[in-house]
């Protein structure tokens, strides 16, 4: 009993002490935790770091560097100094990325922690990155979007999207991307492993590595179907074997780098991390059907040097990787109609969208040039395609699909000559386009052609002139030459009622977030299943020639375009340019029937 009384006394004494201390506790309340923000911490050097390229890089990565006459490694490949990394980790709230290439650390930190970062002797600079708010998703997600019921128009589109680039010529020459390793950066690859479009890819185990840089997991088959659709435009097939892309025999690295419903700087960090991963794992080509624009940057910053992803893409090219990026789908946006980033990087092959009905720039495709005045887009490909989607196949549109079509072309081109350096290949891909050397900021150099790549001497760039320039009192007239005025079933008159500007009007969501489009010319009534349709022989698809269009532009002394236009040719007297619009040093260029001619203003 006595012990119980003593215990109770201690208890009451403790309680009284707490009550007496309560005012003091109330006088010093605990506030909310200090807010954290995202920062980029640049470190000073890699002094003393040891690195073994033979153990870090895979054999395909080592072989790529040997082919392209690059050193086995350079300082950008060395890891970040462990002692400096530990200092940063001990100072900040969390580290979200460690970049070898830039010798930098991305982190989250409070203002007080940033002040301490500035005092660390190994830190060169600390830059704050603003974060954008969450955006609503514009992609329908993981539900079945496709169908196994294909109309004749669907099958024809599937043939045309590769034939427009000369797919039959590549296949006849035996080029299908074999031996090339292609990295696909996207928002997710839902349905890839269940799709019949990739049956052969799966059977051959040619998806050699995957990684989700958003969730830090090997599983990339989450997040969205967009990556599946993009991948099919490189390596997918219809059930009858018809290829949807030009490189069905390539190997693949699949990386998830973007969240479906937001656009924040963490995605640029993920893009950089994926690029370093792709380099280590031997990627020859990176396809990036992604882009960042007005939620993060101003148009004048699309100069190839400002954004992290543009700088990362340029460094990937320096390491021998061809980076192919969609131009974007902002061509009809009055506030931002130009390319995004990393499409703005000079050494990135930027791909614009072509309308399969007109073979002209499709209106939603973003325009160039870059803010630095560089030509963008570089080339174009179909922007309405048939692609694999969960449940079968679907029509999709956007420059997200122009880019992988071009990736397949590049893979075949590199397969034909593996000794080309990445920039030699880049130049050849431009030079084999059907408008080259003419260009504009809607079509770039035009649509690449396999025949022109395989037999460059047969290209018509030095053939007979097709137009005459005639200077009149107040006008510069452009006339179609008589021998070039003959087109199938008619001869162009000298004059007709009008000369028509051409174009089309469509709008799609931002690149990387494209939605489905309805089938074109869909016949009424229920369509029979594919298995019930009689087999159809592949129609003969004539290589693209554009006799009906005349392209022209005015370039200043520096080669920057002041104006450009496409006209549908219905008469020989096709163009009259007022001389008052021309300045000394200007060049007027005209492309008709793939022949480019120039007129210099003195």
Q: Which of 99, 195, 226, 434 is catalytic?
A: 226
Whether the CB-CB separation of 442 and 364 falls below 8 Å is answered with: no
Residue 19 burial (10 A CB sphere; 0-12, 13-18, 19+): exposed
Distance separating alpha carbons of residues 107 and 94, to the nearest angstrom: 6
Element (H, E) at 117: helix 111-119
| The residue to which tokens 């047969």 are assigned | 458
| The residue to which tokens 């997200």 are assigned | 400
Sign of the Cα pseudo-torsion (176, 181, 185, 191, in order) = positive
Element (H, E) at 185: strand 181-186
Q: Which of 370, 400, 402, 594 is catalytic?
A: 400
Residue 232 burial (10 A CB sphere; 0-12, 13-18, 19+): buried
Q: Which of 154, 186, 212, 355 is catalytic?
A: 186
Q: CB-based contacts of 556: which residues, under 8 Å, 6+ apart?
A: 562, 583, 585, 586
Retrieve residue 164's tokens. Answer: 């427009």
Smallest CA-to-CA distance from 310 within 278, 275, 345 is with 345
Q: What is the DSSP letter of 352?
A: E
Active site residue 186: yes
Distance separating alpha carbons of residues 43 and 400, to the nearest angstrom: 35
Residue 49 burial (10 A CB sphere; 0-12, 13-18, 19+): middle
Active site residue 400: yes
CA torsion 455-456-458-462 (nearest 10°) is: 180
Whether the CB-CB separation of 432 and 453 falls below 8 Å is answered with: yes
CB contact burial 381-405 (16+ within 10 A = b; e otherwise): bbbbbbbbbbbbbbbbbbbbbbbbb
Distance separating alpha carbons of residues 35 and 47, to the nearest angstrom: 34
Active site residue 226: yes
DSSP per-residue letters across 501-531: E---------TT---B-PPTTPPSSPPPPGG
Report in angstroms the alpha-carbon separations of 28 from 21, 31, 146, 183. Answer: 12, 9, 62, 56
Q: Active-site positions?
A: 186, 226, 400
């Amino acid at each position: 009993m006595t012990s119980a009384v003593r215990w109770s006394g201690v208890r009451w004494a403790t309680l009284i002490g707490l009550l007496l201390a309560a005012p003091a506790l109330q006088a010093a309340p605990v506030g909310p935790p200090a807010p954290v923000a995202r920062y980029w911490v640049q470190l000073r050097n890699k002094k003393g770091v040891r690195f073994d390229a033979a153990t870090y890089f895979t054999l395909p990565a080592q072989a790529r560097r040997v082919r392209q006459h690059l050193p086995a490694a350079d300082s950008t490949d060395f890891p970040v100094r462990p002692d400096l990394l530990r200092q940063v980790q001990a100072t900040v709230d969390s580290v979200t990325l460690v970049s070898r290439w830039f010798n930098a650390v991305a982190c989250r930190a409070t203002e007080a922690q940033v002040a301490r970062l500035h005092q660390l002797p190994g830190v060169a600079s600390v830059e704050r990155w603003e974060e954008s708010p969450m955006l609503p998703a514009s992609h329908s997600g993981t539900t079945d979007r496709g169908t196994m019921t294909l109309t004749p128009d669907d099958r024809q589109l599937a043939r045309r999207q590769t034939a427009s680039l000369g797919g039959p010529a590549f296949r006849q020459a035996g080029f299908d991307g074999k031996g090339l390793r292609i990295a696909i950066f996207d928002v997710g690859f839902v349905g890839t492993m269940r799709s019949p479009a990739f049956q052969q890819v799966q059977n051959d185990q040619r998806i050699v590595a995957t990684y989700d840089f958003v969730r830090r997991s090997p599983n990339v088959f989450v997040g969205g179907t967009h990556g599946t659709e993009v991948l099919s435009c490189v390596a997918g097939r219809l059930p009858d074997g018809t290829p949807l892309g030009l490189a069905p025999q390539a190997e693949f690295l699949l990386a998830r780098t973007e969240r479906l419903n937001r656009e924040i700087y963490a995605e640029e960090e993920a893009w950089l991390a994926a690029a370093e991963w792709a380099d280590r794992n031997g990627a020859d080509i990176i396809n990036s059907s992604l882009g960042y624009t007005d939620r993060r940057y101003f148009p004048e910053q699309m100069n190839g040097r400002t954004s992290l992803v543009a700088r990362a893409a340029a460094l990937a090219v320096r390491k021998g990787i061809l980076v192919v990026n969609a131009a974007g789908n902002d061509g009809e946006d009055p506030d931002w109609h130009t390319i995004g980033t990393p499409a703005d990087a000079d050494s990135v092959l930027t791909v614009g969208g072509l309308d399969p009905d007109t073979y002209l720039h499709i209106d939603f495709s973003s325009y160039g040039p870059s803010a630095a005045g560089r030509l963008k887009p570089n080339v174009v490909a179909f922007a309405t395609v048939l692609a694999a989607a969960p449940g079968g196949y679907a029509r999709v549109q956007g420059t997200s699909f122009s880019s992988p079509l071009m990736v397949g072309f590049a893979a075949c081109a590199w397969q034909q000559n593996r000794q080309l350096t990445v920039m030699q290949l880049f130049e050849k891909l431009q030079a084999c386009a059907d408008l080259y050397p003419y260009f504009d900021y809607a079509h770039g150099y035009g649509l690449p052609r396999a025949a022109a790549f395989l037999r460059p001497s047969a290209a018509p760039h030095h053939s007979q002139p097709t137009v005459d320039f005639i200077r009149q009192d107040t006008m510069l007239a452009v006339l179609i030459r008589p021998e070039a005025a003959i087109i199938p079933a008619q001869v162009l008159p000298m004059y007709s009622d009008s000369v028509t500007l051409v174009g089309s009007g469509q709008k799609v969501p931002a690149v990387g977030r494209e939605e489905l489009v309805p089938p074109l010319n869909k016949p009424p009534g229920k369509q029979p299943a594919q298995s019930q349709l009689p087999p159809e022989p592949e129609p003969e698809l004539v290589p693209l020639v554009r006799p009906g269009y005349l392209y022209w532009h005015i370039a200043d002394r520096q080669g920057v375009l002041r104006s450009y236009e496409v006209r549908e040719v219905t008469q020989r007297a096709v163009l009259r340019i007022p001389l008052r619009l021309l300045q000394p040093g200007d060049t007027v260029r005209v492309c008709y029937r793939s022949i480019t001619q120039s007129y210099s203003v003195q």
